[in-house]
Amino acid sequence: MNLIYGTYNPSKLKSMIKMLEGLDIEVTGLSGFDMKLVEAEENGKDPLDNAVEKVTTYFKQIQVPLFSCDSGLYFENVEEDDQPGVLVKRIQGNNLSYREMLDFYSNLAKKYGGKLTAYYKNAICLIMDEHHIYSHDGEDIWSEKFYLVDTPHEKYREGFPLDSISVEIESMKYYYDLEDNKSENLGILSGYRSFFIRSLNDYLKSEVFKGK
């Protein structure tokens, strides 16, 4: 099964490919298209709104099976003005670069004593055709809770700037220093795999039914 991941971010594409290893799914990004696609405005109130908006916008233009994801970043025990939610990159109306994001959130962690307890609420929407649309934002695809700290790791990956200041609570190690899959995905793996297995099985069953 060939699916397009509605992103131009090579780090996000690589991460998703790794999470889906072993499944009969070949994932490619939007950079393979000759045309530059119009992107969604992403003004949704939560990650699922934005994921649906993104995938619908892309599907209208290319009409092939594709999915999009979105995330919101949430902190415990912070002032309301310091809660980013879905506006992870958009601070006070300004779209930050990845490096600016790293600086901003490092300083925010410093404001709260050097670390923040954080987690990502994630959402995904898959469109196979106009009659088969699947979405999910359950806790099984949210990240585990982790610390966002004020001192960046020496490793930096473009596209995932906040990974450089993400620390596992249990071990107090940067995720980049862990040796298992958590080093890439903050503990997220099975939820996304289950979503694709469940959605694609439903789609394939419907196709078999139509063919009878």
Write the pLDDT tens digit of every residue in 41-65.
888 899 999 999 999 999 999 999 9
pLDDT band (50, 70, 90) for residue 142: very high
Cα distance between residue 71 and residue 61, in whole Å: 23
* Amino acid at site 148: L
Mean pLDDT of 149-174: 94
pLDDT at 180: 64
Q: What is the pLDDT of residues 18-39, one digit of tens each?
A: 899 999 999 999 998 888 899 9
% of the chain residues with pLDDT over 70: 93
Class of domain 2-211: alpha beta
% of the chain residues with pLDDT over 90: 79
**Which residues fall within 8 angstroms of residue 116, CB to CB, at 6 or more apart?**
75, 76, 78, 108, 109, 147, 148, 149
Pairing of strands 94-95, 90-91: antiparallel
Pair of tokens at residue 69: 């994801």
Cα distance between residue 126 and residue 147, in whole Å: 30
Sign of the four-CA dihedral 158, 104, 148, 165 = positive
| pLDDT of 158 over the 70 cut | yes
